[in-house]
């Protein structure tokens, strides 16, 4: 009796597993396309309005330039110390 019940429910179990697999594939590909679509939108928006024009970009570039000068000063101080120690 158990064998007969198991043999009748096996196709149902297998079809359920196949359905779950197909749904997971659909979900995975929809997430992948969403990510690439968001990246495309970001790149497209930057092409229309370059980051240098956007509101925070000027402040960001100023901070980046300040950081570069600080790094340069630290490097110069380090090299001068290394020359003194030789």
The count of other CB atoms within 10 Å of the CB of residue 60 is 13
For residue 74, what is the enclosing H or E element? helix 57-85
pLDDT of 48: 58
pLDDT of 30: 76
pLDDT of 19: 92
Per-residue pLDDT tens for 5-20? 567 778 888 898 999 9
Q: Report the C-alpha gap between 31 and 21 in whole angstroms.
A: 15
DSSP assignments along 4-73, one per residue: HHHHHHHHHHHHHHHHHHHHHHHHHHHHHHHHHHHHHHHHHHHHHS-TTTSTTHHHHHHHHHHHHHHHHH
Per-residue pLDDT tens for 25-59? 888 877 766 655 556 656 565 555 555 555 566 66
């Amino acid at each position: 009796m158990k064998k007969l019940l198991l043999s009748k429910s096996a196709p149902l179990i297998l079809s359920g597993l196949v359905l779950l697999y197909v749904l997971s594939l659909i979900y995975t590909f929809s997430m992948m396309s969403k990510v690439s679509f968001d990246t495309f939108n970001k790149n497209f928006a930057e092409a229309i309005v370059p980051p240098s024009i956007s509101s925070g970009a000027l402040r960001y570039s100023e901070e980046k330039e300040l950081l570069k000068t600080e790094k340069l000063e630290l490097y110069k101080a380090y090299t001068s110390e290394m020359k003194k120690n030789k």
